[in-house]
Amino acid sequence: MEKLIVYTDGGCSGNPGPGGWGCVIVDGADETRLSGGLAHTTNNQMELTAAIKALETICLNDKWNKRHVEVFSDSQYVKNGITSWIKKWKVNGWMTANRKPVLNRELWIALDNAYNKLDVEWNWVKGHAGVKYNEICDQLCKMEMGKF
């Protein structure tokens, strides 16, 4: 069974400000593009939302939800948060190492819930470096930001 490839991106104009997220799910030759946005948000919230929407979509698709998923994000925040930091946050009652509440807790919980239902491998990709699907995700973000 072929793996799924997922690219995600999020951004906003101003931080906070109007924001957008985009993701592309690549299944062989087929591409599924998803996007959305909010009038008032942060860059990190949009980065998280892109990953959440991609994984939740895969969870709901019987053709996809048993396959290995490779996620590519240009956000170290998302990649490191879900693969490393979240373990300590949970143990510490959703507090950071500095004893402050974890920002975007609800989004982290949603991402963790979807992530734990799938076989996911996380990868970081340099943003704005000509990577085809990362560039498409960036265009989706900008399109959504333009709606506000």
Catalytic site residues? 9-10, 47, 74, 128, 138
The residues, any chain, with a CB within 8 Å of residue 27's CB and separated by 6 or more, are 2, 4, 63, 64
Q: Cα–Cα distance between 69 and 115 in angstroms, integer?
A: 10
- Among candidate residues 127, 110, 135, 79, the one with its CA nearest the CA of residue 143: 135
Two tokens at 30?
């087929």
